[in-house]
């Protein structure tokens, strides 16, 4: 990653922050809720995740002990709005097993060092890098930037087409601040992608204009 790419990332971060301000993103009541949401959000819109989480909460099923003992068919029914609900219900069961049986509960996980926790999360079937990093950043409040398809798309439009690891390193250089700044900028990138990229508003795009 060249120095100019890092500079470009800094410029993009400041433009996007100017638009979206200082709001925090991914509000949840607990780390467990973030972990459940990180599975549910795979390949669907956030609105659907919100609906599924409310339905789980309504039936007191938004926790791993409850998910572990619940009837899989009932979980499937509750999370149906997020799509791939059978696969996601299986993944939630596996995650519950991982938290409760392999690690003895959330508290033990929250005491683990970040690189070990990441490695452990990645060992769970259905938890890829993006899901693991979202859990680390928003569930365990670790200093971690999430590189997802929105981030890659936006940076590709700015002429930065590095792989995930390179982008992560460039972010670290451009944004050496606190973990909350990293959480916020990822949230802003997602919002920007929804507001501009998904609506084909490329003519108004500040990122494209930055590169011209």
Q: Which residues bind ligand SF4 (CB under 6 A)?
A: 154, 157, 196-197, 201-202, 205, 207-208
Q: How far is the CB of 209 from ligand SF4 (least distance, A)?
A: 9
Q: How far is the CB of 188 from ligand SF4 (least distance, A)?
A: 13
CA angle 168, 170, 174 (to 5 degrees): 115
Separation CA 78–CA 73 (nearest Å):
9
Closer residue to ligand SF4 (CB): 20 or 84:
20
**Integer CA distances (angstroms), 200 to 93, 159, 189, 192, 204, in order:** 38, 18, 15, 11, 9
Q: How far is the CB of 46 from ligand SF4 (least distance, A)?
A: 18
Q: How far is the CB of 202 from ligand SF4 (least distance, A)?
A: 3
Structure tokens at 23: 């709001």
End-to-end Cα distance, the chain? 20
Closer residue to ligand SF4 (CB): 8 or 91:
8
Judge contact between 194 and 45, C-beta under 8 A. Answer: no
Judge contact between 136 and 119, C-beta under 8 A. Answer: no
| Token pair 């690189």 in the structure block, residue | 115
Structure tokens at 44: 């669907």
Closer residue to ligand SF4 (CB): 58 or 202:
202
Closer residue to ligand SF4 (CB): 93 or 152:
152
Q: How far is the CB of 26 from ligand SF4 (least distance, A)?
A: 21
Closer residue to ligand SF4 (CB): 16 or 53:
16
Judge contact between 42 and 84, C-beta under 8 A. Answer: yes
């Amino acid at each position: 990653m060249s120095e100019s790419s890092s500079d470009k990332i800094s410029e993009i971060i400041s433009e996007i922050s100017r638009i979206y301000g200082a709001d925090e993103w991914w509000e949840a009541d607990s780390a467990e809720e973030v972990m459940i949401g990180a599975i549910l959000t795979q390949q669907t819109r956030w609105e659907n995740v919100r609906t599924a989480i409310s339905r789980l909460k309504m039936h007191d099923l938004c926790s791993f002990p409850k998910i572990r003992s619940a009837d899989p068919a009932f979980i499937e029914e509750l999370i149906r709005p997020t799509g791939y609900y059978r696969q996601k219900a299986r993944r939630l069961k596996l995650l519950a097993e991982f938290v409760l049986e392999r690690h003895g509960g959330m508290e033990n996980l929250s005491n683990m060092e970040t690189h070990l926790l990441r490695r452990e999360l990645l060992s769970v079937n259905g938890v890829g890098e993006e899901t693991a990093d979202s859990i680390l950043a928003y569930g365990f409040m670790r200093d971690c930037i999430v590189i997802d398809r929105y981030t890659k798309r936006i940076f590709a439009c700015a002429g930065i087409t590095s792989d995930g690891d390179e982008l992560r390193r460039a972010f670290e250089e451009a944004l050496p601040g606190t973990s909350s700044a990293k959480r916020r900028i990822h949230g802003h990138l997602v919002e920007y992608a929804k507001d501009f990229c998904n609506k084909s508003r490329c003519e108004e795009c500040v990122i494209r204009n930055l590169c011209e």
